[in-house]
Structure 1
Amino acid sequence: MFAGRRNVLLLASSQALMLSAIVLSMSLAAILGALLAPDKSLATLPVAAMVVGTAIASLPAALLMRRWGRRSGFLIGASLGVAGSALAGLGLWQGSFGLFTLGHLLLGSYQGFANYYRFASAEAVDAAHTTRAISWVVAGGVVAAFVGPQLGQWGRDWFIAGPFVGSYLAQAVLSVVALGLLTQVRLKPVATAATGTARSVRELLSQPLLLTSILGAAVGYSVMIMVMTATPLAMLGCGLPGQSVTPVIQWHVVGMFAPSFFTGHFVKRFGAPRIMQTGFVLLLVHVAVALSGLEFLHFVSALVLLGVGWNFAFVGGTALLTQTYRPAEQLKVQAINEFLVFGLVATASLSAGWLYDRAGWAALNLAVVPFLLLALLASVGTELKTARLREAL
């Protein structure tokens, strides 16, 4: 194992706990939202609020971590997770759609802080092990595939006050455990890492590699969240039993995070753009599978492909991003990336419920195809342009 392994393992464990909480909500929020919402088209609003919370928190998180350090920011984020879980549980208990949605907004803010775990892991190791560290932290989500949905089902009837109230209180416990782990993280101050001269935002965004990494991560994540958010509703709408949703979400999350054990190796061998392109192709294949039928096997196969495609696009995009900034620019570029990526993801999640309610499952999947083709062509074009510049030098 490489130097800095203790920090990487702590961050990977914290990632697993955070994502277990997020996956629990992803598997329940749309279904519970449909029960609480005054209008069925608002069923996915709690999930959308979670993504909006992630986007909103990304810039303040970067500023707080620059001022007070990574660990302080991570502890604030985990505290938001505890508060969000408690508020969502209270919303369920009282039958309040507003409180339930607000709780998910705070849970999303938790993720907004926690999304910097992968960057912190990259800073904790030497340059030769950056992609491996990122991959191991992202791979912490494999645990979430089983803990999140299972915890949601276990906690369903813990309290007479209402179904799934116990699930959200158990979710709060996950965040408390994460708080304990994060107190043990030891990272160098951000100000120490960020020495030198920083370019302006305009200069940074003029880099084709930076734009390609942001576009690729944003499209890959948006497609994944839009389809995953609508999947429980689509399965129930097709007459499949409610208990069939959990294994589909579980295997989807396995698809999202299990490849991370070797994605870093692939990035080093083939380059980040090629891995991103593979991800977009897999996401297009997912669309074909999703449109081929409405049985359980179609859903689970499509969602596994959706997860693996997301992993390649997201890890590849993150690895490419780390090549586009100087030490003094790391927090600035990371904040820009998180805000733009999750801004688009928030838009996708907000539209998922409306699009499914108005147009159906097939139309929702077809709607993502143009964006995937755009990201694929942009990645190929940037790779070819970069190769020509290298040859000219």
Structure 2
Amino acid sequence: MRHAHPATSTDTPLTTAPTVSISTVQKRTLTVLLVSQVLSGAGLAAGVTVAGLLAGQMLHTTSLSGLPIALLTAGSAVAAVVIGRVSQRHGRRPGLVTGYLTGALGGAGVVVAAALGNPVLLFVSLFLYGAGTTSNLQARYAGADLAAPHQRARATSTVIVATTAGGIAGPLLAAPTGHLATALHLPEPTGLFLLSTAAFTLAALTLLIRLRPDPLTLARSLPAASVESAPADSLSRSGPGLLVGVVVLVLSQLVMVAVMTMTPIHMHAHGFGTAASGLVIALHTGSMYLPSPLAGRLVDRFGASAMSVVTAGTLLTAGVVAALAPGHSLPLITLALILLGIGWSFGLVTGTTIVTSSTPLATRAKVQGLVDVAIALAGAVAGLASGIVVAATSYPILAALCGTLALAAAPAAIVAARRSVKRA
């Protein structure tokens, strides 16, 4: 038997590597991904926390406050296709690095656009910035490439949870980075984009140097039985399973983005400042990523069907709480955003596990990229529509509509699971 090349070598495939060697490489892969996710998590803060406020200041209107989120998520959609195809051909590392560097370029462009007062450059830069968010999201697939089938959800959740530290720290740095921007004679909201530029760049360098061997390239060189077999959940093995995975992911993203986008604007309208909205978004971001290990264990133990129903119920509860919360009640608004984050976390882990287990390894990266296009487009629609809905009606109505929409994930999962059982 030939022995595997050391994990610290190049991307040479391990065709007959012992199980223990693959396990070692997987642990190393997860460690490197954890570091890059912490860094890139901090880079996500700008788009969530201050992009809407910055656009409102430059355009002198709040009706288009959802446009920045729409632009960066549209950029995420394009980036998802590119990253997916690059990963399919060359491995995870080149794809993720390309996305992070593009996001860093976009963050720098936002700073320049704000300094010049140029809305066109702002919109183009926000579009590019979306590529950084795509890389952060697609890193979860890299964590599952070498995972045993019955541990895919936990491997995925391990990568997701690493975003917590940076995701919480980023919004909390809104005020300090704002002071830095002011000292540099830049608009205050650009401070977080300075942070994003540095964070995405460091994440790219971490992967470029340390993510060796490439997990997807290595997975393709292994015996099919070790990476292709799906977990016991019949939903994950079925044709309809892929569609349900997409539905869960898309609805989770749509509901989360729509409510999250307008929450800082809603709070600002009721007298809250940047520090308060930053705190709420920080707690929301933490709740998006921190519960993911729990979600991974629950999916591996009880199956994706059950967790799809749990996801729908959690998002519905978040929408109801947000709709009923008085505009001056910081505790209730915070609770709603925390529940919103938890529901999104459950949906992301559940949907990702379904998609990964329903797709052959030979085309997995390409399909995953296309799935993330759907996620990004859902976010773009939600970001743009949220501002229009609130301007035409109110924030509580938006929250109630989103919560109700989330319920569609539950019957979809149940119907698909029943169909797959009948076919078995």
TM-score (norm 1): 0.91
Q: How far does the alpha carbon of each residue in 1:247-281 deviate from its partner, in whole angstroms, 9 at most, with x for none? A: 11111111111111221111111101211211110
1:350 aligned to 2:376? no
The answer for the alignment partner of 2:6 in structure 1 is none
The answer for the alignment partner of 1:185 in structure 2 is 211
Please show how residues 355-370 of structure 1 align to structure 2 within 5 Å: 355-370=389-404
Distance 1:218 1:375 in 2: 9
CA distance 1:328–1:40, change in 2 (3 Å): same
The answer for the alignment partner of 2:371 in structure 1 is 337
Name whichever of 333-342 and 312-321 sits farther off: 333-342
The answer for the alignment partner of 1:168 in structure 2 is 193
CA distance 1:175–1:369, change in 2 (3 Å): closer
CA distance 1:141–1:114, change in 2 (3 Å): closer
State whether residues 283 and 305 of structure 1, in contact with CA within 8 Å, keep that contact through their aligned partners in structure 2. Answer: yes
TM-fit CA distance, 1:193: 4.2
| 3-state DSSP of counterpart to 2:187 | coil
Q: Between Structure 1 and Structure 2, how many residues are aligned?
A: 384
State whether residues 36 and 207 of structure 2, in contact with CA within 8 Å, keep that contact through their aligned partners in structure 1. Answer: yes
The answer for the alignment partner of 2:3 in structure 1 is none
CA distance 1:328–1:358, change in 2 (3 Å): same
State whether residues 220 and 309 of structure 1, in contact with CA within 8 Å, keep that contact through their aligned partners in structure 2. Answer: yes
The answer for the alignment partner of 1:199 in structure 2 is none
Counterpart residue type for residue 320 of structure 1 = I
Q: How far does the alpha carbon of each residue in 1:130-170 deviate from its partner, in whole angstroms, 9 at most, with x for none? A: 22210010101211332211233211121223323333222
State whether residues 174 and 278 of structure 2, in contact with CA within 8 Å, keep that contact through their aligned partners in structure 1. Answer: no
State whether residues 152 and 168 of structure 1, in contact with CA within 8 Å, keep that contact through their aligned partners in structure 2. Answer: no
State whether residues 147 and 155 of structure 2, in contact with CA within 8 Å, keep that contact through their aligned partners in structure 1. Answer: yes
TM-fit CA distance, 1:371: 2.3
Percent identity, aligned pairs only? 26
1:63 aligned to 2:85? yes
Distance 1:146 1:369 in 2: 24
Distance 2:315 2:29 in 1: 32
1:301 aligned to 2:335? yes
The answer for the alignment partner of 2:406 in structure 1 is 372
TM-fit CA distance, 1:305: 0.4
| 3-state DSSP of counterpart to 2:186 | coil
Q: How far does the alpha carbon of each residue in 1:180-227 deviate from its partner, in whole angstroms, 9 at most, with x for none? A: 21121014474664589xxxxxxxxx9211110001110011100110
Gaps of 5+ in 2: 1-19, 225-237
The answer for the alignment partner of 2:302 in structure 1 is 270
Please show how residues 244-283 of structure 1 align to structure 2 within 5 Å: 244-283=276-315
RMSD: 2.3
Q: How far does the alpha carbon of each residue in 1:333-362 deviate from its partner, in whole angstroms, 9 at most, with x for none? A: 212211222222211111111111221102
1:115 aligned to 2:137? yes
TM-fit CA distance, 1:7: 0.9
Distance 1:161 1:326 in 2: 49
State whether residues 124 and 187 of structure 1, in contact with CA within 8 Å, keep that contact through their aligned partners in structure 2. Answer: no
Gaps of 5+ in 1: 197-205
Name whichever of 156-165 and 229-238 sits farther off: 156-165
Counterpart residue type for residue 408 of structure 2 = L
Q: How far does the alpha carbon of each residue in 1:267-315 deviate from its partner, in whole angstroms, 9 at most, with x for none? A: 1111012112111101111122112222111110100000001111111
TM-fit CA distance, 1:18: 1.8
1:99 aligned to 2:99? no
1:218 aligned to 2:244? no
Distance 1:96 1:166 in 2: 17
